Amino acid sequence: MPSPFTWGVVLIFLALFIQGVMATNLTLERLLRGGVNLAHFIGRAFPPDLADLDVLAWSMYETLNIAIVGVTIGVILSVPFALLAARNTSPAPWVRSITRLMIATMRTIPDLIWALIFVVAVGLGPIAGVLAIVMDTIGFAARFFSERIEEVHPGPSEALSATGAGRLSVIGGAILPETLASMTATSLYSVEKALRSAVTLGLVGAGGIGVELAAAMRL
């Protein structure tokens, strides 16, 4: 039997859901009309116009480069951030707290906002997109890296420390090898995430296929 607290949470969620449906004017009529409009849009999209195929192909190539370069730099920078944020590798509690706050800040700010910031800083183009993905990747990957580092079994680290190994030797010889598989999986997911982000970043002038999408939407 669910507790009164559970029923209270369910009722609050239902109330918020109903309020959200009313606030967004989500009705069956609008959904049906949207389906008809979508069908018309898909019908007009065929056959596709290939007149600008070379421009679109280059923009897609640029989008791929933005994602790959941004993720690579972001993942590399995520490792020291994670080591400073993890409880078992951070040199001091205050360092850990500050680093975790920085990671949380980078993760909280949407990638489109990062793109706007860097468009103002470095101008329009793919560099702004790369820098935005770097910040977004650090906020995402560093968190998971630090959590995985904290889950490492202390036995190998303690054994190395007992032999007189220093902090860096323990990290390189015991901690990072054990976390490598998890970090690789997180990095691959970061690539997938960055590819999606790189498309939308172009809508604010950060290069890639998004620039062409923004131009088409204005026509």
What per-residue confidence (pLDDT) applies to 169? 75
151 and 179 fall within a common domain: yes
Q: What's the pLDDT score for residue 73?
A: 95
The angle formed by the CA atoms of residues 217, 134 and 205, to the nearest 5 degrees, is: 25
Residue 213: what pLDDT? Answer: 76
Residue ranges in the chain whose pLDDT is less than 50: none
Domain holding 36, by residue range, is 4-44
Q: What is the pLDDT of residue 133?
A: 93
Position 219 scores a pLDDT of 57
Specify the 3-state DSSP secondary structure of 88: coil
Q: What is the DSSP letter of 51?
A: T
177 shares a domain with 100: yes
Q: Are 14 and 117 contained in the same domain?
A: no
Burial class (CB in 10 A: 0-12, 13-18, 19+), 166: exposed
159 shares a domain with 78 = yes
Tell me, what's the pLDDT at 55?
Answer: 80
Please tell me whether residues 12 and 100 are part of one structural domain.
Answer: no
Do 25 and 67 lie in one domain? The reply is no
22 and 114 in a common domain: no
CATH code of the domain covering residue 98: 1.10.3720.10
Distance CA 59, CA 15 (A): 45
Q: How high is the pLDDT of residue 141? A: 93
Whether residue 164 is found in the same domain as residue 186? yes
